[in-house]
Structure 1
């Protein structure tokens, strides 16, 4: 079976066009693979949960009888040690979780604004 002479350039053109569209789509077009999309969705969900739990963290801090002493300890701690100190207070532990959340500790510290107080 013989193919017409014009089929070879047409096939090459279609192949180069498909590769070009794929490269442009994934680099500039915003296309993603399912794995990348899943990671983006997981990160977004984690950020939203953290944002939603900040009022709980602040509520726990306000209800704590030792609030004044703990806030003084947090103010005295260096900026590198504040997250660990916040995690030790128990205010940054999500309800039902066994361990405190590092992201929630950071968000709660930002809302407490210890440097500006």
Structure 2
């Protein structure tokens, strides 16, 4: 008894599996475990930053030299310089932390500049 359908059946299963993976990863939204972890980390960092920015803005408001420092901040042209300025001013250093948070500094500088322009 010769089963002639086995070879085409196996090839069909292999080709079907490969096509399913191609379609799934390209258009179906499938991701690897590593890229899922990276996406989760980025979302968590973004959420933490958005929660901490109001603290940075409050520290900037309560700074006795805030008006002068915001003027200096506005004079800086590059976002890296603005971020560094907020970090150096201590506004992006959260309570219980020894070092400033770069993401918070970037978002805080952006908000401070928007607020300064609105005035």
Does the pair score TM above 0.5? yes
Gaps of 5+ in 1: none
Structure with a larger share of its residues in helix: 2
- Name the residue aligned to 1:34: 33
Stretches (4+) displaced over 4 A = none
- Name the residue aligned to 1:90: 90
Note the aligned Cα RMSD (angstroms). Answer: 1.6
TM-score after normalising by structure 2: 0.88
Q: Number of paired residues? A: 116
- Name the residue aligned to 1:58: 57
d(CA) in 2 for partners of 1:50 and 1:89?
18
Query: Match of 1:108, SS?
Result: helix
d(CA) in 1 for partners of 2:95 and 2:2?
70
Superposed, 1:64-83 pairs within 5 Å as 64-80=63-79, 81-83=81-83
d(CA) in 2 for partners of 1:24 and 1:95?
48
d(CA) in 2 for partners of 1:83 and 1:52?
17
Query: Match of 2:36, SS?
Result: helix
TM-score after normalising by structure 1: 0.90
Gaps of 5+ in 2: none
